[in-house]
Amino acid sequence: MSKYRLTLMGAADHRCSRYHGENNFMKNARIAWLRLVVLIILSICAGANCAYSQSTNSSNTPREAGEPYPNMPSIAPIGVRIDKYLDVPASAKGPAIDSAKGYRLQDLGKGLYMITDNAYQSMFLVYDRGVVVVDAPPGYAAHIPQAIAEVSDKPITHIVYSHSHIDHIGGAKALGGQPVIIAQEETLRLLKRAADPNRPLPTVTFSDKYTLRVGNQVLELSYHGNAHEPGNIFISAPAQRVLMVVDVVFPGWMPWRRFALAQDIPGYFAQVEEIRKMGWETLVGGHVARTGTHADVDVQAEFNQDVKQAAATALATTKPGEGLNPLDKANPWAGFDNYIDRVAAQCVNTLAPKWSSRLAGFDIYIWDQCFAMEQSLRIE
């Protein structure tokens, strides 16, 4: 076992003591005991010339982790187990779902409803002769007809796809019938490629804007370019003052890892700003336990700017090659890995004091955000 792992255990103990109030004496005793066990194992290995010491001498055998970088954050990096994640702040929570039904229906006004299982969100709009469904997450799509039946006896006549991802529309086929399916043309392209029977191809596509008028109800669909993925659209219900944009803003939460897997990070930052400037009262983000407000979007935009600043400063002030094993000097990818790791560590350290208790999931995805940000700043 390497010193690095021992140090990580020390770091994990540190988190334990901070969040569970573990007694310092017990903590120190446990670390001392672990160190003793490791020392005994290492001395037995040295005496017996065991497989471990032989393997670390071979240049073609992956080595164990080395000494940690200086000033490693106490938040475990990617791939290291976290003993106890930070508590979810009250501001990130929403109303409970009905456990018997498995979903929650939220009235957004004038015939528009949000359905959620408190992890995913979709909508439906009731008009005089039918219902327009917006997204069908496979996790609860089987409940969508039941949710509609709570407020209407009309059939599903239309489905709008926010984007092509299976986790948001993979329940479309199961809704049955022959609905008109509307999506941006890039979504059609991606769905043709996916050839997934659970995601039927759109029957109506558009490039920039599409206004869906059904009875006296209106949905305005618009495409603002690539950010999360090509074809991801803004869905506005002007009479209800509701805007739905999926996988961009996560009210109360950190974005999912790497800015929710944004395929274009500058585009992603720009769309958060666009959402911020638009007129609406309720944001449906496609995820988490509640709808969003303008204050949520302001927080997300502020977080984005802070990550950008922290990563830019870390890129400018971190010296390449420091602490790199001289045997790796001719390996350019090793040099980058060493540099980028230290940039990300500095970025995490910069952001933790302000943000760790402000956005849920900070400890889970902050390393991912810092890696994605420094990568975007270097090459985009």
Token pair of 179 as six digits: 């609905």
DSSP string, 89-155: PGGG--PPPBTTTTBEEEEEETTEEEEE-SSBEEEEEEETTEEEEE---TTTGGGHHHHHHTT--PP
Binding segment (CB under 5 A) for Zn ion, from list 84-92, 101-109, 163-171, 180-188: 163-171
Answer yes or no whether residue 247 interacts with Zn ion by CB under 5 A. yes
Per-residue b or e along 91-115, where b marks 16 or more CB atoms closer than 10 Å to that residue's CB: bbebeebeeeeebbbbebeebbbbb
- Minimal distance in Å, beta carbon 172 to Zn ion? 14
296 sits near Zn ion (criterion: CB under 5 A): no
CA atoms in the 13 A half-sphere facing the CB of 315: 16
- CB of 165 or CB of 342, closer to Zn ion: 165
Query: CB-wise, 167 or 306, nearer to Zn ion?
Result: 167
Q: Which stretch binds Zn ion (CB under 5 A): 33-41, 244-252, 302-310, 368-376?
A: 244-252
Minimum separation from the CB atom of position 257 to Zn ion (A): 12
Tokens standing for 32? 């001392």
Residue 167 CB, nearest approach to Zn ion (Å): 7
Per-residue DSSP letter, 228: S
Asked if 15 is part of the footprint of Zn ion (rule: CB under 5 A), the reply reads no
**Considering the complex, what minimum distance in angstroms separates the CB of residue 228 from Zn ion?**
6
The one segment of 24-32, 102-110, 239-247, 251-259 that binds Zn ion by CB under 5 A: 239-247
Contact 121, 284 (CB under 8 A): yes
CB nearer to Zn ion: pick between 229 and 374: 229
What lies within 8 Å, CB to CB, of 71 at 6+ separation is: 345, 346, 349
Nearer to Zn ion, 304 or 346 (CB): 304
From the CB of 248, what's the least distance to Zn ion, in Å?
Answer: 9
Taking contact as CB under 5 A, which single stretch among the options 21-29, 106-114, 243-251, 341-349 is the one that binds Zn ion? Answer: 243-251
Which amino acid appears at position 288 of this protein?
V
Taking the CA atoms of 89, 95, 101 and 106 in sequence, report the sign of the dihedral they define: negative
Region 316-345 residues binding Zn ion, contact defined as CB under 5 A: none
Query: How many binding residues for Zn ion (CB under 5 A)?
Result: 2
In whole angstroms, how far apart are CA 365 and each of 82, 254, 261, 343? 12, 7, 11, 16
| Of the candidate residues 165, 258, 290, 308, the single one contacting Zn ion (CB under 5 A) | 165
Residues at the site binding Zn ion, with contacts judged by CB under 5 A: 165, 247
